[in-house]
Structure 1
């Protein structure tokens, strides 16, 4: 697959305190922020090395009424958001927010896969997403990881729906099989069945940093909490999973400690 279909093209944070969230991530991963120019609500666009990575906002009232809590969501590119929805629902997915337009930006819908992982379908107004940054660039998203009700079923769904292809798998013993995928621009992430103590399915996004230990200290300095790690993963990289001060889960990946 050489086109943009199925690629993660944007990431969005929803939290309780926008200013505090921007300050936390700027300190931890070095993002810079600027006003996104939304007329209806404050929206900050965060960038790494001049490359826009994602947006940050306060949890909207309608999402909060549905039980939304601070979290990161990913936008996945499709040719046509509206035409993708019947196929998604036929496969057992759900639609949480019907297609809506962002003036001069694009059209999106909030959906979930058949195993409970929430994400956005997105088509930009220009017809093609911008070129991705250099792989591994600090501050960009380096890995996408789905923890869900049924890893095998979810993997089949994403491969069928977006054209993702399998790059390998690892048997993690009691933790099950970890299946890795690529989206057209190289290996992009992995999918696994969530652990029994994990209350719900979720996508976890790993931000690239130069070195892990200094970043861990930056998390602690801003009152974030380490959930798992640091640990070395196959390929020689190091990861850590953490909660920001508002309770949103995120992760970091680095080539060294």
Structure 2
């Protein structure tokens, strides 16, 4: 993902819903070197924003209800949350929450695609989302895991106007002429009870070292560090509370 700021239709934010906020804070600050700041407003319920230096990159929050899975969620930038919600419904998705105002920060929609993958949409006001991409500790790629690639492709291209950039090896999502994410087919590698989902990938300076550190801190490697054909070195990890996420080799500075 070559964006250096959120663009309409592209990913703009990633946030973790966790059942142990303090443990998650320790794990991710150790792994990524994040600086964390808790929103002091009572109505934000301990919402914690992660920074790389002085720039926002992600957030951690308590689960909204005990039945929610511990998981990362991905938000996509939209100009009009109400119009975007209508587009989701017309394309065959389901709006779960919203559109609703989040104080003066923005307007949010939570939705499911037709295959069951959850995602969010964000209409920015005071808060635009991540201020840094594709740099160590920051979001740089998002990947949809689904059991029906064709149906997902039809949905997202209609709902968001994305285009598809496909090779023999991989299908990628594109907006404003740039690839920002991809699709993986949920085959026998995925347990039957794992639902379709969006997976955020964070850039790191050393994939192998990051994977080793995650394991030392109680995480697990779902995909061991590996080189992607025509792509970077990656790993897919799971934090101690059970949330999967990806890491990839950040571009080398020239």
Q: Same fold (TM over 0.5)?
A: yes
The count of residues paired between Structure 1 and Structure 2 equals 243
Gaps of at least 5 residues in structure 2 are none
CA distance in structure 2 between the partners assigned to 1:137 and 1:200 by the alignment: 29
The yes-or-no answer on 1:51 pairing with 2:55 is yes
User: Out of 173, 179, 187, which is 2:179 matched to?
Assistant: 187
Shift of 1:120: 0.6
CA distance in structure 2 between the partners assigned to 1:206 and 1:100 by the alignment: 27
The yes-or-no answer on 1:27 pairing with 2:22 is no
Equivalent residues of 1:150, 1:192 under 8 A apart = no
CA distance in structure 2 between the partners assigned to 1:231 and 1:112 by the alignment: 30
1:25-52 C-alpha deviation (Å, 9 max, x unpaired): 1111121101123322111100123220
CA distance in structure 1 between the partners assigned to 2:13 and 2:231 by the alignment: 27
Shift of 1:184: 2.5
CA shift in 2, pair 1:184/1:248, >3 Å: same
Shift of 1:137: 0.8
CA distance in structure 2 between the partners assigned to 1:217 and 1:71 by the alignment: 21
Name the residue aligned to 2:121: 121
Instruction: Detail structure 1 runs of 4+ shifted over 3 Å in the superposition.
Output: 128-132
- 1:1-257 matches, within 5 Å, as 4-40=7-43, 41-61=45-65, 64=66, 67-126=67-126, 129=128, 132-133=131-132, 136-171=134-169, 178-184=170-176, 186-196=178-188, 197-198=190-191, 199-254=194-249
CA shift in 2, pair 1:220/1:227, >3 Å: same
Equivalent residues of 2:134, 2:250 under 8 A apart = no
Equivalent residues of 1:73, 1:203 under 8 A apart = yes
Shift of 1:105: 0.4
Shift of 1:86: 2.4
* TM-score scaled by length of structure 2: 0.88
CA distance in structure 2 between the partners assigned to 1:255 and 1:53 by the alignment: 15
CA shift in 2, pair 1:180/1:124, >3 Å: same
Cα RMSD for the two superposed structures: 2.1
Equivalent residues of 2:235, 2:246 under 8 A apart = yes
* TM-score scaled by length of structure 1: 0.87
CA distance in structure 1 between the partners assigned to 2:56 and 2:177 by the alignment: 18
Gaps of at least 5 residues in structure 1 are 172-177
